[in-house]
């Protein structure tokens, strides 16, 4: 029994680690999309963030400067998205596609030019990364049955960005649903003309939304390359930005359901590697690839309205034109 419990804690712990970039990116998407700006560029911002963090951490030896660079890179891409879609009222999806392709090419081209290692950054040392934090008394409490593994394996032993991701959810919920800024931001995504007539600038609100999204994607990128991983690898975002987008839709653009969706998708990913080559009773062997595509299938089914309805913000994707 105690062994199963320990196993469960380990699975949950790896789920949490795999869900961390999803949570941060999904919260990023929530700010952007709640303000009315479609964000399929999550993937590209995540990748740019990961590259900036890996490169700067390598040059400076400081993970904190790496994190800062990742945030700057995420914000820069966010501002580009804003410039195209808010200032010039360009198509938000086209702009997102452009950002994803740009990030994909840019990180490899600059990576090869700087490090000549086929698009990777050199492997980072322990000092250049965010390392797992052991909560106080983890070893001692670890001996206690049940509570011990829960504390030692699940709560303790993650790097700081995992805790930051978990913190980002209540923070996002608070900002979006309990502050007047959040109210206006959501209004910019539901009824921008009302925001305008109340005397607030839709443009400025939406710009702030894409900047916040850039910050969160940057942190997620730093997590990939200098916390979870030990260096940047080309295409290391590997579709996580899109899964986060799926989680955001799956969570119906609400913080807690989105968090749960991220954890569900993280659990699927962590179980995929565990279930490979395992013969399950009745079902037999499940191919890993089938488990890995489950998030996308589930999102399609949800979008089709077969379990609950996912209703996007009303003005999502529509550039705001001020009437004169």
Partner 1 sequence: MLPGWVSLGLIPVLNLLMAFAVAGVVVALIGENPWRALVVMIDGAFVYPGSLGYTLYYTTNFIFTGLAVSVAFHARLFNIGGEGQAALGGLGAALVCLALDPYLPGLMVIPLAIAGAALFGAAWAFLPGLLQATRGSHVVITTIMFNFIAAGLLVTLLTGPLIRPGQSTPQTRDIAPGATLPKIHEIFRALGVDMASSPLNVSIVFALIACVGVWVLVWRTPFGYRLRTLGESEPAARYAGVKVPSMVIITMCVSGALAGLMAINDVLGAHDKLFLNFTAGYGFTGIAVALMGRSHPIGIVLASLLFGALYQGGAELSFEFRSIDRDMVLVIQGLIILFSGALAYMLEAPLTRLFARQRRPAHG
Q: Does 1 bind partner 1 (CB under 8 A)?
A: no
Half-sphere exposure of 174 (CA within 13 A, CB side): 5
Q: Does 157 bind partner 1 (CB under 8 A)?
A: no
Q: Site for partner 1 (CB under 8 A): which residue of 59, 60, 65, 91?
A: 91
Q: Does 105 bind partner 1 (CB under 8 A)?
A: yes
Q: Does 178 bind partner 1 (CB under 8 A)?
A: no
Q: Does 292 bind partner 1 (CB under 8 A)?
A: yes
Q: Does 97 bind partner 1 (CB under 8 A)?
A: yes
Q: Does 106 bind partner 1 (CB under 8 A)?
A: yes
Helix ranges (DSSP H) in 134-239: 138-141, 147-149, 160-178, 180-190, 192-197, 202-222
Distance between CA atoms of residues 128 and 61, nearest Å: 5
CB atoms within 10 A of CB 116: 9
The stretch among 50-58, 68-76, 126-134, 240-248 that binds partner 1 (CB under 8 A) is 240-248
Distance between CA atoms of residues 304 and 250, nearest Å: 11
Q: Which residue has the tokens 């978990």?
A: 166
The single-letter DSSP state of residue 198 is T
Q: Site for partner 1 (CB under 8 A): which residue of 1, 3, 4, 113?
A: 113
For residue 297, the minimal CB distance to partner 1 (Å) is 6
In the complex with partner 1, the residue whose CB is nearer, 119 or 182, is: 119
Q: Which tokens in the block code for residue 291?
A: 């488990």
Q: Does 175 bind partner 1 (CB under 8 A)?
A: no
* Interface of this chain with partner 1, residues 49 to 88, rule: CB under 8 A: 80, 83-85, 88
Distance between CA atoms of residues 163 and 286, nearest Å: 32
Q: Site for partner 1 (CB under 8 A): which residue of 6, 72, 90, 171?
A: 90
Q: Does 244 bind partner 1 (CB under 8 A)?
A: no
- Is 285 in a helix, a strand, or coil? strand
Q: Which tokens in the block code for residue 251?
A: 């969570």
Q: Does 260 bind partner 1 (CB under 8 A)?
A: no
The stretch among 110-118, 123-131, 187-195, 251-259 that binds partner 1 (CB under 8 A) is 110-118
For residue 118, the minimal CB distance to partner 1 (Å) is 8
Distance between CA atoms of residues 237 and 217, nearest Å: 11
Nearest to 266 by CA among 25, 60, 6, 18: 18
Q: Does 138 bind partner 1 (CB under 8 A)?
A: no
Residue 280 parent element (H or E): strand 279-280
Distance between CA atoms of residues 175 and 27, nearest Å: 11
Tell me which residues touch partner 1 (CB under 8 A): 40, 80, 83-85, 88-91, 93-95, 97-106, 108-110, 112-113, 116, 119, 239, 242, 245-246, 249, 287, 289-290, 292-293, 296-297, 299-300, 303-305, 310, 312
């Amino acid at each position: 029994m105690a062994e199963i419990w320990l196993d469960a804690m380990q699975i949950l712990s790896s789920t949490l680690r795999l869900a961390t970039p999803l949570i941060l990116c999904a919260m990023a998407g929530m700010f952007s999309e709640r303000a009315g700006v479609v964000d399929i560029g999550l993937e590209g911002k995540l990748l740019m963030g990961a590259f900036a963090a890996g490169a700067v951490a390598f040059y400076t030896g400081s993970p904190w400067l790496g994190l800062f660079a990742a945030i700057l890179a995420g914000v820069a891409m966010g501002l580009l998205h804003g410039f195209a879609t808010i200032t010039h009222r360009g198509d938000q999806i086209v702009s997102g596609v452009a950002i994803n392709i740009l990030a994909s090419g840019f990180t490899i081209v600059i990576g090869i030019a700087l490090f000549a290692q086929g698009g990777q950054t050199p492997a980072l040392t322990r000092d250049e990364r965010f390392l797992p934090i052991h909560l106080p008394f983890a070893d001692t409490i670890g001996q206690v049955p049940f509570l011990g593994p829960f504390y030692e394996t699940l709560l303790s032993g993650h790097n700081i960005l995992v805790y930051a991701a978990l913190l980002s959810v209540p923070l996002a919920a608070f900002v979006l649903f309990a502050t007047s800024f959040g109210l206006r931001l959501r209004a910019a995504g539901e009824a921008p003309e009302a925001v305008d007539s109340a005397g607030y600038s839709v443009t400025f609100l939406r710009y702030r939304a894409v900047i916040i999204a850039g910050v969160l994607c940057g942190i997620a990128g730093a997590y990939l390359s200098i916390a979870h991983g030990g260096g940047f690898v080309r295409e290391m975002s590997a579709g996580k930005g899109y899964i986060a987008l799926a989680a955001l839709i799956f969570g119906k653009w609400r913080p807690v359901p989105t968090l749960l969706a991220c954890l569900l998708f993280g659990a699927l990913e962590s179980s995929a590697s565990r279930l490979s080559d395992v013969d399950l009773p009745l079902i037999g062997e499940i191919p890993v690839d089938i488990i890995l595509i489950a998030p996308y299938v589930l999102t399609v089914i949800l979008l089709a309205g077969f379990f609950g309805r996912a209703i996007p913000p009303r003005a999502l994707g529509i550039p705001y034109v001020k009437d004169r």
